[in-house]
């Protein structure tokens, strides 16, 4: 696998772009164009406080030969834990629904303890205080999964699109996955687990995979101004649960970081250098995203 073809047909399921209320590397058209030139098949656009379907539709009109997918994160400006708002975003064309990220109680707990998410939680609060969201009726650690969360999962499952867990405690996430498994839904992704390894221990990761979850691993955790995570920690997770249960994402788009395509390219080559095989990389950036997004596999002559 060479520098030229490592990203061939890859899909990055977690990128940020402008316009946003903070600085971004570029808009969706710029980022999609760079990704297409790198040989990628597609990207999923994520904004924390608004849907990205409109961005994706316009990008697909302007960047031919490429697939850009819209999404929505169920933070408070998007309706919070609202099944009706979720249904609207799905009808609009979202291919991915995130449960709360910046507005979760867990995000703010981690921020208070020095996690790099404090950069973004503070930015998106705009100096205001507000009630934070949890998935359990007893808070972050106790109780049953909220009925409204079940309803959100139900509408996502009916649409057969991707559900991403958002930023929540292991207790919340395990309860979520238990419900996901109970209804037979198989497109659940656990958001950048490598960002929270102090809580998401090997036992927790095994439990989530046993419940059918796909673990998202983000290059964004490795970069300066974030956690500067040692890539050997990522290798440990891949070796523990297997590439079949992982998607690699850039989680890029921040102004101070490389373009999402370049971030994902670099991430893959770092992992190759650390002993991950080309076949495992292909599984995590091509095969698993293709299956999760319910896309046709790339035909042999296109590979």
pLDDT value at 301 more than 80: no
Do residues 160 and 294 lie in contact, with contact meaning Cβ atoms separated by under 8 Å? yes
Q: What is the CA radius of gyration of the chain?
A: 18
Do residues 46 and 14 lie in contact, with contact meaning Cβ atoms separated by under 8 Å? yes
Q: Is 0.95 topped by the overall pTM?
A: yes
Rounded CA separation 10/88 (Å) = 28
Rounded CA separation 217/228 (Å) = 14
- Domains of the chain are 11-302 (3.20.20.140)
Mean pLDDT across the chain? 97
Confidence grade of residue 102 (pLDDT, cut at 50, 70, 90): very high
pLDDT value at 300 more than 80: no
**Cα angle 111-121-97, degrees, rounded to a multiple of 5:** 115
What is the enclosing helix (H) or strand (E) of 282?
Answer: helix 278-282
Rounded CA separation 71/97 (Å) = 6
Rounded CA separation 260/258 (Å) = 6
Mean pLDDT of 244-273: 98
Rounded CA separation 237/167 (Å) = 19
Q: How many residues does the chain have?
A: 303
pLDDT tens digits, 89-98: 999 999 999 9
Confidence grade of residue 180 (pLDDT, cut at 50, 70, 90): very high
pLDDT tens digits, 261-281: 999 999 999 999 999 999 999
DSSP 168: -
Do residues 220 and 264 lie in contact, with contact meaning Cβ atoms separated by under 8 Å? no
Rounded CA separation 124/116 (Å) = 14
pLDDT tens digits, 143-161: 999 999 999 999 999 999 9
More confident residue, 2 or 136: 136
pLDDT value at 4 more than 80: no
Rounded CA separation 275/55 (Å) = 37
Rounded CA separation 45/117 (Å) = 19
- What phi and psi, each to the nearest 5 degrees, are found at residue 21? -85, 0
Q: What percent of the chain clears pLDDT 70, i.e. is strictly above it? A: 97
């Amino acid at each position: 696998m060479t520098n030229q073809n490592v990203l061939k047909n890859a899909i990055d399921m977690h990128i940020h772009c402008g316009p946003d209320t903070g600085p971004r590397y570029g808009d969706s058209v710029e980022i999609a164009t760079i990704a297409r030139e790198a040989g990628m098949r597609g990207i999923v656009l994520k904004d924390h406080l608004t849907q990205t379907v409109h961005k994706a539709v316009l990008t697909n009109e302007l960047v031919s030969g490429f697939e850009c997918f819209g999404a929505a994160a169920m933070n408070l400006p998007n309706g919070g834990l609202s099944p009706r708002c979720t249904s609207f975003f799905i009808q609009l064309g979202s291919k991915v629904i995130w449960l709360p990220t910046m507005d979760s109680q867990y995000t703010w707990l981690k921020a208070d303890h020095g996690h790099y998410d404090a950069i973004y939680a503070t930015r998106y609060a705009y100096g205001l205080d507000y009630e934070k969201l949890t998935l359990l009726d007893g808070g972050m650690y106790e109780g049953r999964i909220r009925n409204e969360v079940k309803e959100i999962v139900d509408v996502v499952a009916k649409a057969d699109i991707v559900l991403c867990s958002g930023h929540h405690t292991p207790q919340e996430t395990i309860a979520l996955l238990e419900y996901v498994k109970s209804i037979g839904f198989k497109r659940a992704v656990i958001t950048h687990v490598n960002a929270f390894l102090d809580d998401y221990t090997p036992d927790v990761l095994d439990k989530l995979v046993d419940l059918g979850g796909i673990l998202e691993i983000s290059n964004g955790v490795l970069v300066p101004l974030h956690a500067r995570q040692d890539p050997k920690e990522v290798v440990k997770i891949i070796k523990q649960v297997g590439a079949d249960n992982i998607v690699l994402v850039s989680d890029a788009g921040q102004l101070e970081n490389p373009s999402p395509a370049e971030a994902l390219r670099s991430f893959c080559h770092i992992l190759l250098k650390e002993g991950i095989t080309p076949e495992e990389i292909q599984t995590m950036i091509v095969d698993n995203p293709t299956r999760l997004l319910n896309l046709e596999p790339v035909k042999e002559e296109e590979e």
